[in-house]
C-alpha cells in the first residue's frame, strides 16, 4: 500500500486527477471504476477541467460505478446515477453507452447484480478503481462484516452509514436501507490499480486501521492490504492517526 499524504484536500484532488489523466493518456480506452460521496467531488472537478482545457479525451473510456441505492430511480435527486451525471458525466465526452451504474430500480435485482459483475469481467477488468472510505471502514457499500469473497450483490446499509448519509436526504428515515454494491472480491480481483481517497478527521481512525491494523472483515478496507497495487491519498486530517508518519 503506497500512502501519499496530501497537504490539503485540493492537493488530494490534483494528485488523484493526475493519476487518472496519466492512465487515460497512456490508454485512451481505459476502464475507470468510480465512486460517489463527498470525497471524489474535487477529483471530478479536476477531470472536467482537464477535459474542457483539451488535455483529456474520454470518448473511448468506459466507466463502472461501485454502487447504487435500491429503490431510487436514476433521476432521483439522491441517486448515485444523478450524482455522477451532475458532477462528471454531463460535463465530459464519455459516451452514454460506455457508462455503467447498477440500476437500483431494476425489479430483477439479482439479475442486475450478476449481469453487472459479468460485464466487468467480460470487459477485462478495471484499470483504475477510485474508492472512498467510510468512517466505519467500508468500501463501496461493503459494510463491516462483509464477506471478503463477495461479488456484486444486494447489501444492507449499516446504521452508521444510514446516519452518515442522512445529510443528503434531509431525514434519516428517507435513506434507502438497501443498495447494490460491487463486492470486495469484485474490487480486489478486477482492479489493476486501486486509488483510495480519504479526507477529514472523521476518517482518521478508519485510515489507520486500513493501513496499519490487522486485516479483518470488520474493517473491509483493511483487505486492501493484500492487493498488489493500492495508492492511498489522504489529506493531513485523515492521515493524522497513522503511526508511520510520526515515527
Ligand atoms: P464520503 O463517503 O466521501 O461522502 O465521506 C465515502 C464513503 O462512504 O465511501
Q: Is the residue at 88 inside a domain?
A: yes
Assigned domain for 196 exists: yes
Ligand 1 atom nearest 161 alpha carbon? 8
How many domains is the chain built from?
A: 1
Query: Is residue 140 within 6 Å of ligand 1 at its C-beta?
Result: no
Q: Is the CB of 39 under 6 A from ligand 1?
A: yes
* Residue 131 forms part of a structural domain: yes
Asked whether residue 239 is domain-assigned, the answer is: no
- Parallel/antiparallel/unpaired status of strands 99-100 and 62-65: parallel
pLDDT band at 244 (very low <50, low <70, confident <90, very high): confident
Given ligand 1 and candidates 12, 13, 33, 36, which is best to mutate, with the most ligand atoms within 8 Å of its CB? 36
Residue-wise pLDDT tens digits, 110-157: 999 999 999 999 999 999 999 999 999 999 999 999 999 999 999 999
- Give the pLDDT band of residue 247 (cuts 50, 70, 90): very low
Q: Are 127 and 192 in contact (CB under 8 A)?
A: yes
Please tell me the distance between residue 129's alpha carbon and the centre of ligand 1 in angstroms: 15
Domain with 72 in it: what CATH number? 3.40.50.1360
Residue 206 Cα to chain centre, angstroms? 15
Q: Which residue has the cell 489507520?
A: 208
Q: Is residue 36 part of a domain?
A: yes
- Ligand 1 pocket, 137 CB below 6 A? no
Catalytic residues: 67, 136, 138, 143
Q: Which secondary structure element, helix H or strand E, spans residue 244, and what is its range?
A: helix 243-246
68 is a domain residue: yes
Best residue for ligand 1 mutational test, from 12, 33, 37, 42 (most atoms within 8 Å of Cβ): 37
The alpha carbon of 229 and the centre of ligand 1 are apart by a number of angstroms equal to 21
Give the structural domain span for 186: 2-233
Specify if 244 maps to a domain. no
Contact 202, 235 (CB under 8 A): no
pLDDT tens-digit series, residues 148-187:
999 999 999 999 999 999 999 999 999 999 999 999 999 9
Tell me if 136 is assigned to some domain.
yes
Amino acid at each position: 500500500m503506497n500512502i501519499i499524504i496530501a497537504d490539503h484536500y485540493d492537493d488530494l484532488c490534483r494528485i488523484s486527477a493526475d493519476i487518472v489523466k496519466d492512465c487515460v493518456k497512456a490508454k485512451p480506452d481505459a476502464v475507470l471504476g468510480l465512486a460517489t460521496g463527498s470525497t471524489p467531488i474535487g477529483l471530478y472537478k479536476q477531470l472536467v477541467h482537464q477535459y474542457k482545457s483539451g488535455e483529456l479525451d474520454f470518448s473511448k473510456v468506459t466507466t463502472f460505478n461501485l454502487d447504487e441505492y435500491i429503490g431510487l430511480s436514476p433521476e432521483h435527486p439522491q441517486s448515485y446515477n444523478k450524482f455522477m451525471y451532475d458532477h462528471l458525466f454531463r460535463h465530459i465526452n464519455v459516451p452514454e453507452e460506455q457508462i455503467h451504474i447498477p440500476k437500483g430500480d431494476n425489479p430483477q435485482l439479482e439479475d442486475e447484480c450478476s449481469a453487472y459483475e459479468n460485464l466487468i469481467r467480460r470487459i477485462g477488468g478495471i484499470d483504475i478503481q477510485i474508492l472512498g472510505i467510510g468512517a466505519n471502514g467500508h468500501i463501496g457499500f461493503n459494510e463491516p462484516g462483509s464477506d471478503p469473497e463477495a461479488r456484486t450483490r444486494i447489501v444492507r446499509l449499516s446504521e452508521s452509514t444510514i446516519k452518515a448519509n442522512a445529510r443528503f436526504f434531509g431525514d434519516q428515515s428517507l435513506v434507502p436501507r438497501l443498495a447494490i454494491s460491487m463486492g470486495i472480491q469484485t474490487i480486489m480481483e478486477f482492479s489493476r490499480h486501486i486509488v483510495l481517497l480519504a479526507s477529514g478527521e472523521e476518517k482518521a481512525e478508519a485510515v489507520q486501521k486500513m493501513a496499519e491494523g490487522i486485516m479483518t472483515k470488520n474493517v473491509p478496507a483493511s483487505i486492501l492490504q493484500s492487493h498488489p497495487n493500492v495508492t492511498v491519498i489522504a489529506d493531513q486530517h485523515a492521515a493524522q492517526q497513522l503511526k508511520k508518519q510520526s515515527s
